[in-house]
Amino acid sequence: MAEGEEKKMELPTAKSKPDKKKKSEESGDTLWSRRDFFSLAGWAGFMASLGLSGAFFTRLLFPRVLFEPSPIFKAGRPGDYTLGEVSTKWVKDQRVWIVREEAGIYAIFAFCTHLGCTPKWLRTESKFKCPCHGSGFTMKGVNFEGPAPRALERLKISLGPDGLIQIDKSKKFLMEKDDWNKPGSIIAV
């Protein structure tokens, strides 16, 4: 070699090697390489999880509200109820019995104190009987047979300004706390 001439040596580079991607594109064998597919799948999974997280976060901004009917309802006039009788008119809709006695009118919550079943009023036997486990209650709601641990609960009852009976199911009176003698547990008629 001459002094002025430098020997050019070519080092192998990525450009000098045949590109597999170009070769496969030219031959038309595959649409994407494995690297392209997994890269795209990874980004798609990342974007999907980001989108779902954003949707869940947006859902948290709106409160979940359960709209329930009012616990207060009107049950007609005192004259609608017969002395010495239990009215089953409101059991299906409101789960309430209305009882009229000499002392006045009171409302009993139709909810067995054993496991929460709805007892039935047996007119011929003059008692409430729970169909689930056989608890029995007197006309006043006092338990006398079966596994029920305590008497039925009375509900707040009052006369409205329009002369109609109002019953509030959110306020309960318990016999064992001597609440049955408190104002609101019974209305004198």
User: Which among 150, 188, 167 is positioned nearest to 90, based on CA atoms?
Assistant: 167
User: Does one domain contain both 111 and 164?
Assistant: yes
User: Does one domain contain both 91 and 130?
Assistant: yes
User: Does one domain contain both 38 and 79?
Assistant: no
The tens place of each residue's pLDDT in the chain, 189 residues long, gives 555 555 555 555 555 555 555 555 555 566 878 898 999 999 999 999 999 999 999 999 988 888 888 899 998 898 888 898 999 998 899 999 999 998 899 999 998 888 888 999 999 998 999 888 889 999 898 999 989 898 999 999 999 899 899 999 999 999 888 888 888 888 987
pTM of the model: 0.65
User: Does one domain contain both 80 and 54?
Assistant: no
Beta strands in 19-104 (DSSP E): 72-74, 85-87, 96-100
What's the domain count of the chain? 2
- Cα distances (Å, whole numbers) of residue 182 to 159, 177, 188: 15, 10, 12
